[in-house]
Amino acid sequence: MKWLSSLLFSKRNVTQNAAQQNHPTVENTPYKLIGGEQGVRALAERFYDIMSTDPQARDLLAIHPQPLDTIRQRFFEYLSGWMGGPPLFEQQYGHPRLRARHLPYAINETLRDQWMYCMHMALEDTVDNPALKDGLRQSFWQLATHMINQPSTPSQSRG
């Protein structure tokens, strides 16, 4: 959450936009700005709707155990805390240890990019606030990049 805060709550945002209610500040958490539980749920659901139907995410879909019901719920619970709302994931399962949880899956740049593609589309569809959308996109990119645990094969990095 530290890096998310530093991106979203950057000095520029706080000082230039303190008077505006739709910019992230320490009080205005991403969780509040996105619309609380309903907004976070919409983003998480849209992400997996896109992942399960868009051919551009086919490799990502292929490594996910089916059905996706449990992960939809857990992703929502994780995002709730990550955005500054109730830490629902942590309350039930302990510290997320997100990178360790992903180690059983071989994640390279191609999968990271497919994950970001789904998130990019989901943000476009569910978040109106441009400052929030940009901040979340950057923070998601950093976190998704941190999940990479395999080098890309030469053919993948060329393509």
Chain contacts with ligand HEM (rule: CB under 6 A)? 60, 63-65, 70-71, 74-75, 78, 98, 101-102, 105, 107, 111-112, 115, 140, 143-144, 147
* Sign of the alpha-carbon torsion through 120, 69, 77, 41: positive
Cβ at position 16, least distance to ligand HEM in Å? 28
Structure tokens at 77: 């619970």
Complex with ligand HEM: residue 60 or 123, whichever CB lies closer? 60
* Residue that is written with structure tokens 């645990």 in the block: 149
Cβ at position 48, least distance to ligand HEM in Å? 10
Cβ at position 18, least distance to ligand HEM in Å? 28
Cβ at position 17, least distance to ligand HEM in Å? 25
113: Cβ contacts below 8 Å, ≥ 6 apart: none
Complex with ligand HEM: residue 9 or 115, whichever CB lies closer? 115
How far, in Å, CA of 44 to CA of 122, rounded?
Answer: 8
CA nearest neighbour of 100 among 150, 151, 147, 152: 147
Complex with ligand HEM: residue 33 or 118, whichever CB lies closer? 118
Complex with ligand HEM: residue 14 or 42, whichever CB lies closer? 42
Structure tokens at 105: 């899956």
